[in-house]
Amino acid sequence: MHIVAIGGSDAGISAALRARELDPSADVTVVVADRYPNFSICGIPYYFTGDVHPWQTLAHRTSADLEATGMSLRLDTFATRIEVAGRRLEVRDPDGSESSIDYDELIVGTGALPSSAGIAGLDELGPEDGVHVLHSMGDTFALERDLDERQPKSAIIIGAGYVGLEMAEAFIARGMDVTQLQRGPEVLSTLDPELGGLIHDELVRHGVDVVTGSRVETVTRNPNGLTVTGIHHGEPFERTTDLVLAVVGVKPNTDLLERAGATLGAAGAVVVDESMRTGLPNVWSAGDGVVTHHRLLGVTYLPLGTTSHKQGRVAGENALGGSARFAGSLGTQVVKVFDLVAARTGVREHEAIAAGFTPASTTAAADDHKAYYPGAKPITIRVTGDAGTGRLLGAQLVGAYGTEIAKRVDTFAVALHNEMTIDAFSELDLSYTPPLGSPWDAVQVATQAWARSQPVRA
């Protein structure tokens, strides 16, 4: 049995590890387009803040660690074509020559690519011009060189999602003037605006110039630096800066599978079933290049590292003949922004309506632990439930770093996974001691507030 996995990030490596774990006799080869397998791309912003050093520590496992499991690594090797009928993968080797690898089962984890969101100039300008994306270790080194060599004093970040917010903190830590441009009405559009506004205020408090409602149209290079132009609340705007970082989302990297005959679905991602089958014989796929099976929304596209790990594990097991199934995503996410943490899981009202629910939401604030114990801080929690059945549908949380936002959102995620009602959530036996919580935890204060807001159900 020879299994070939394409991709050295979450999905590909998870698949290879699972296959070797289940069958140590399996021959597993991982084809990696660069020389950095199993690096934490999510950790890159913290390399730039200075919290993580040296860069090698971003590796979940070193190449030696991976090879010690029995897998073979083909680094700096780019997959160019899948010959489905012949079970053969054509690749471009590090020296530029072409070769092929025969396989019994193929797992494709090619992930996603940075999106330019239709902004003119982003595809033409690059690191040598001071225009950057941040999607790989190569991007990391290019940005680091630019920061060290030119020592830019100002930066414009296009996009205010997770990476954009984390990089705003990194640039501020380096003493740069930072402008953050966001197309939507508020930063961190995965939250409702009232909670996103709390993150907005935190950015401003730390010196970030936040400009929401701004649609960037062009980025150009000129003798004075870089110029970003667009529309802000219906009026033209123009800003000049030393460096531009574009973090406006990703698009699934489907070229290899699409040319092999795979079907595309939501957001142009490759269609797979819950077993990670592509529909092509002996070809599986997982990660940011495939559709997401969501427990509330059905089939959608929601690229997340945690999802990629789980999907890759399923693909690796099933390539050996197993019957594993991806249990589904809830879109659980968390981000630290300076001294605040924001998290969400499940769906918001507009998503719930699209999925056929009748949602209602309430927002409550409660201290992270008993107020009489020093250091208590409030957590703002927005709970969404189905008005007809009382079923929990989603939660959003914002609170100070140290108030255990990540673990509290995980409590909601477990409840959502098990389709609990909000009333049942309020009855959970959660831990309590005054320095860490309250007899009714903050999450239950929020669910009780939701219940009080609803008509009494017979």
Yes or no: say if 444 and 367 are a contact pair by the CB < 8 Å rule: no
In terms of Cα–Cα distance, which of 381, 399, 397, 340 is closest to 166?
Answer: 340
Give me the residues paired with residue 291 across strands.
none
Is the Cα torsion angle 24, 30, 36, 37 positive or negative in sign?
A: negative
Yes or no: say if 7 and 253 are a contact pair by the CB < 8 Å rule: no
Query: What interhelical angle do 442-453 and 405-417 show, nearest 10?
Result: 50
Tokens of 116: 């330019």
In the block, residue with structure tokens 């020879």: 2
In terms of Cα–Cα distance, which of 32, 55, 36, 35 is closest to 44?
Answer: 55
User: Which DSSP string corresponds to 87-113?
Assistant: TEEEEE-TTS-EEEEE-SEEEE---EE
Yes or no: say if 218 and 121 are a contact pair by the CB < 8 Å rule: yes
DSSP class of residue 327?
-
Where in the sequence numbering do the catalytic residues fall? 42
Yes or no: say if 269 and 291 are a contact pair by the CB < 8 Å rule: yes
